[in-house]
Chain A
Amino acid sequence: MSLLDVRDLSVVFQRRGERPFTAVDKVSFTVEPGQTVGLVGESGCGKSVTSLAIMGLLPKRGNKVTGEVLFEGTDLLKLRPDDMRDRRGRDIGMIFQDPLSSLNPVIPIGVQVAEVLERHQGRERKQALREARELLDAVGIPDPDRRLKEYPHQISGGMRQRALIAIALACKPRLLIADEPTTALDVTIQAQILTLLKQLVDDTGTALIMITHDLGVVAGLCDTVNVLYGGKVVERARRHELFGQPRHPYTHGLLNSVPRLDSIRGERLHAIRGSVADNIPWTEGCAFAPRCDNVVDACLEGPPPLEPTATGGDLRCNNPVSEEVAVP
């Protein structure tokens, strides 16, 4: 049994007087124990909504969530709010992009970590604070004894993200969901945090869902990568296959659009034309068709299905990039 088995997860937002909007459209993927799985795509493709739906953190009103989110066989979507709250923090930890808004500004860092241990592990305050100190130390916060008593605004953005990781890890969750955890940080601080996450995953055996728009972050971290476009998974592959042999025209286009640090300078970038504003609804065909160089008639006749590939991945495309075309 997979640790997490997301089946046909859909999220439809419905505001009064507006047409329903499908932000996540029958997304399915699995996470095995200890595995690191990437969700990548451009802004608005549904990455955050997917993670919020898994965690049961979407607003109570104005949206409809369907499908199944099986965590060790239990459908989280069917849990009572109390039970779900218990799962969060104990079984599943979460790290967000903006640590400041996820931390309580009026409670010292140490107490915030300790409270998690008290609530979910039944520790006494004293013992909890001792363990909190160890956790802060483990996530690389210098001088943890003093940091315990400090408030979020007294430490830097990078240190706040470390504190948030400490909170997420406090109960030794089996799954960690990180939504753009380094996007707001400088690149040298990002390197610190990614190294820390990788090391924690190795040491604790926690599975990790890494959500990011940065293909570089995924390349060094994830075992399997899901590429999202317009709320659907369009390609899924192990990272070496995905980057070495991208088959979906969107994935291929994305990899060709990024200037690489190690590429020859001055070469023109192969931009994908248009923008997501040009998408057609999936019900009418492939949402990417208006921007796609490989488009064929079938692409405008209905949604292409997600089908298994020879290399063990999945692909949603009528006319994939041929396997000979290498990424320059």
Chain B
Amino acid sequence: MTERTGPLVELRDVKVHFPIKSGLLVDRTVGYVYAVDGVSLSINAGETYGLVGESGCGKSTLGRGLLRLVEPTDGEIVFDGTDVRALKGETMRRARRRMQMIFQDPLSSLDPRQSVESLLVEGLKAHGLAKDKAETNRRLRETLEAVGLPASALTKYPHEFSGGQRQRIGIARALVLNPDLIVADEPVSALDVSIQAQVLNLLKDLQTERGLTYLIIAHDLAVVRHISDTVGVMYLGGLVEEASSEDLYREPLHPYTRALMSAVPVPDPLVEDRRERILLAGDLPSPSNPPAGCRFHTRCPWAQPTRCGDERPALREVTAGHRVACHYAEDIEAGRIRPHEVEPELVRPVDGDLPGDPGELIPTP
């Protein structure tokens, strides 16, 4: 049963800035990565809020900030009426049980040396919920059944399972604590398509059975739209558009959302052959040096000489329940402003973005 009782989670102007350190002897802060830079949103109880955006836009950081797995720099996080940032010690621990997280890579988020049973009991113990042995056992079995794994899974280890099954274990680990909110960070992006569908269906079923509230974070707009009631689109640390899943698809108002939507391939040649793409020029700017004004103005095909370059647009309600951060959303929608060519600007990868070591070298042909 889904009860709609108003917001379970409210974020007000949340910021998470990471200092960039330099200097060998004395750590000097030479700048900040503005990973999340002023996000306000609310998530209704029993509903799914989907957060979508490209790599580095701050989705994961926002999710982790909400659970205080990383300490927000500023802003308010209200969970079920309580300001989470003010909680300490025992009260924070109790709040934590009610907010659980599921991660992208099922294998790396599970300790390979722990059996499934010990993985599940660990959380219960941390919250003092594993006192009664029979009760614990019942709880484990029930949870495994809920995620579609046999009770025999308890004695096995993560590597003995397929990717999809490991993600079920990840979900079970969150579920066993009977949370109210689950933050799922890219829960299906490491999985094959056929397995993705199983996990998405499972998440949906669990929500219906248990009235769970979800924050689903993913880069795949089709996945997010499928599973969410409300979708928020992020670009460079900020929310640029928020609407119901239907409205967002029917009437994307922000130029970035339009481009994102037009870029998602659809497995249907009839659609692909006649659709128009809005190709964005150049790369995503670095979040340590975000453009002034509207952060999208360096790539926006609709950017105007006034306001776009120097005034950061606020997220404002344009139609009921549909919020957009663009100065010219109405003019663009009405066709009064036409898109134009954009010269791509060169963007340097920041050091932190470098993917590890260069790996094995394949000699140039």
A residues adjacent to B (C-beta < 8 A): 42-43, 57, 85, 88-89, 93-94, 96, 98, 100-105, 107, 112, 115-116, 140, 142-143, 152-159, 167, 186-192, 194-195, 213-220, 239-240, 243-244, 253-263, 265-266, 268-273, 275-277
- Asked whether, in the complex, the Cβ of A269 is within 8 Å of the Cβ of B267, the reply is no
- Asked whether, in the complex, the Cβ of B359 is within 8 Å of the Cβ of A188, the reply is no
- Asked whether, in the complex, the Cβ of B204 is within 8 Å of the Cβ of A268, the reply is yes
**Cβ-defined partner of A187 (8 Å) among B198, B221, B227, B273:** B221
A258 touching B262 in the complex, CB below 8 Å, given contacts A102-B362, A156-B347: no
B226 within 8 A of A: yes
Interface size class of B (residues with CB under 8 A): 35 or more
A259 touching B359 in the complex, CB below 8 Å, given contacts A186-B219, A187-B54, A239-B269: no
Closest 3 CB pairs of A and B: A216-B265, A89-B365, A220-B272
Report how far A266 CA is from B255 CA in the complex, Å: 26
Nearest neighbor of B265 in chain A, beta-carbon distance? A216
- Interface positions, chain B 224-242, Cβ under 8 Å from A, are 225-227
Residues of B within 8 Å of A100, CB to CB, are 355, 358-359
Report how far A272 CA is from B249 CA in the complex, Å: 27
B residues adjacent to A (C-beta < 8 A): 54-55, 162-165, 192-198, 200-201, 204, 219-223, 225-227, 245-246, 249, 259-273, 277, 279-280, 282-284, 343-349, 354-355, 358-365
- Asked whether, in the complex, the Cβ of B267 is within 8 Å of the Cβ of A255, the reply is yes
- Asked whether, in the complex, the Cβ of B54 is within 8 Å of the Cβ of A260, the reply is no
- Asked whether, in the complex, the Cβ of A261 is within 8 Å of the Cβ of B201, the reply is no
- Asked whether, in the complex, the Cβ of B193 is within 8 Å of the Cβ of A213, the reply is yes
- Asked whether, in the complex, the Cβ of A116 is within 8 Å of the Cβ of B365, the reply is yes
A261 touching B361 in the complex, CB below 8 Å, given contacts A142-B345, A186-B55: no
Report how far A191 CA is from B346 CA in the complex, Å: 18
Min Cβ gap B85→A in Å is 31
Supply 15 further A-B pairs (C-beta < 8 A) apart from A142-B346, A187-B220.
Answer: A96-B362, A105-B358, A153-B358, A154-B349, A188-B54, A188-B259, A191-B262, A216-B264, A239-B269, A253-B194, A257-B194, A257-B196, A271-B194, A275-B195, A277-B162
A254 touching B193 in the complex, CB below 8 Å, given contacts A103-B364, A190-B263: yes
- Asked whether, in the complex, the Cβ of B359 is within 8 Å of the Cβ of A98, the reply is yes
